[in-house]
Amino acid sequence: MQGLGYRLPGRGTGDEGSGRFLVQDVSFSVGAGETLVLLGRSGSGKTTTLKLINRLLEPTSGDVRVAAERAADLPVTRLRRRIGYVIQEVGLFPHFTVERNVGLVPQLDRWPQARIAARVRELLMLVGLDPDTFARRYPHELSGGQRQRVGVARALAADPPLLLLDEPFGALDPITRVELQREFAALEGRLGKAMVFVTHDVREGLLLGTRIGLMLQGRLRFLGTPDEFRRSDDPECKAFMAAA
Amino acid sequence: MSLWAFYARNSQEVLGLAGQHLYLVAISTGAAIGIGVPLGVLLTRRPAWRGPVLGVANVFQTVPSLALFGFLIPLPLIGGIGATTAIVALVLYALLPIVRNTYEGIAGVDGAVREAGRGMGMTDWQLLTQVELPLGLGVILAGVRVATVVSVGTATIAAAIGAGGLGVYIFRGVAVVDDTLILAGALPAALMALAADGLLGVAERRFAWRAK
């Protein structure tokens, strides 16, 4: 899987009312097997950047490429079905069983039932949930950690080359969070996907990221490996390191 | 004459009027759902229309029902004496609770669920039919329930413009000051309202996902 990169050169999105730029001139690319962690304070534009990639927000300038195709040229639903999306609140459909939640994108893409069922089992095992126990449960019958596991399984369902994760472990209790972070770190290597991972937790970022992108006031302040990040002289990087 | 004796003697007529009453309510509520649900959905997509549309629906609701029936009589096509006019009036009454609850049922769906659905590549139609309407169904049905119960009551007044229904007994009873006659119309109408309330209440709870 070559040529998998996402460039967001010179992008910015204006808040239409005020004309303020929430994100400006952010450029980066992520290859297969890489996890770019977007780190930053609240309001620094991390989530906005993420939503520009799957076009939940439309860029006012610049462009996004997914696997060499311009995101803006693809029908938006097709683009999004190729991009796994995990959010902090999980957003499982409360009226769907775990099985139907995980099989959502394959169902939208009209896979045959048997293939969806097999894929769902495979994914539930991948995220550490026994299919026989959990497939028929409803989201309200799960713990927070289990719900987020289902959220990750759902994002992986159609085997998208790119995964966007917006503070996926942010709402979990500290013990579950560490547990899921460790498992996720192991999963990253096995999956070989390109990932963009938003967090404000610098320890999480250093654990999971192959590269760190530090955002400040809508701009990408620093981009480099975790080691480079640790050694950086940038005051914002230092501020984050002090918090670790 | 006791109520039961009256029913025994006029069973054919009672059943006929009850049937007419049911017909007025069923047709008008059905039409109000057919118009109100799409309209409510539209408001969730065009928030700017919400104020004006709900405002107009609200105005219909505040016009006294007898006056609304009266206003409609001179209108061409939908007006005149009889069931059509009554149905139009009943639809106008039923619209507000259905439109409002459809809007609120959908607007009340958890934003994270909607964002996840959109983020995974659902079209607006898929999001609406697979997520928003099923999750909003409890609230929408609550609106239908209110509309139905109100319609059963309002439909008694339809007798005033010759639409028939159980109101025929009530108006006749008022005219000749006969309590039995009034009760003969009012009692089945009340039972009908209670039955509709109960049945739709069951359906509503069955689909109330949010509580879980």
The predicted-structure confidence for A69-98, as pLDDT tens digits, reads as follows 888 889 999 999 999 999 999 999 999 999
Tokens of A239: 């501020």
Question: Is residue B70 predicted with pLDDT exceeding 90?
Answer: no
Q: What does DSSP say about strands A69-70 and A65-66: parallel, antiparallel, or unpaired?
A: antiparallel
The contacts of residue A143 (CB under 8 Å, 6+ apart) are: A176
Q: How many whole angstroms separate alpha carbon A163 and alpha carbon A27?
A: 18
* pLDDT tens profile A153-183: 999 999 999 999 999 998 899 999 999 999 9
Average pLDDT of the residues in A111-128: 95
The reply to whether B112 touches chain A by the CB within 8 Å rule is: yes
Q: How many whole angstroms separate alpha carbon B42 and alpha carbon B54?
A: 12
For A237, counting Cβ atoms within 10 Å of its Cβ (0-12 exposed, 13-18 middle, 19+ buried), the class is buried
Tell me if B141 sits within 8 A of B207, measured CB to CB. yes
Residue B110 and residue A94: Cβ atoms within 8 Å? yes
Q: Which residue has the tokens 């994108």?
A: A105
| pLDDT confidence bin for A13, thresholds 50/70/90 | low
Tell me if B97 sits within 8 A of B28, measured CB to CB. no
Under 8 Å CB pairs connecting chains A and B tally to 65
The reply to whether B10 touches chain A by the CB within 8 Å rule is: no
Torsion over CA: A153, A157, A160, A161 (sign) = positive
The whole-angstrom distance between A77's CA and the closest CA on chain B is 4
Residue A54 and residue B209: Cβ atoms within 8 Å? no
Q: Between residues B77 and A119, which one has the greater pLDDT? A: A119
Name the residue facing A89 among B112, B117, B210 (closest C-beta). B112
Which residues on B lie below 8 Å from A164 (Cβ)?
A: 119
Tokens of A190: 């096995």
Tokens of A27: 């450029």
CA-wise closest residue to B116 among A91, A133, A153: A91
Residue B116 and residue A95: Cβ atoms within 8 Å? no
Percent of chain B residues topping a pLDDT of 70: 98
pLDDT averaged over every residue in chain B? 91
Question: Is residue A100 predicted with pLDDT exceeding 90?
Answer: yes
CA distances from B158 to A56, A74, B70 (A): 51, 56, 10
So what's the pLDDT on residue B212?
A: 44
Question: Is residue B151 predicted with pLDDT exceeding 90?
Answer: yes
The reply to whether B110 touches chain A by the CB within 8 Å rule is: yes
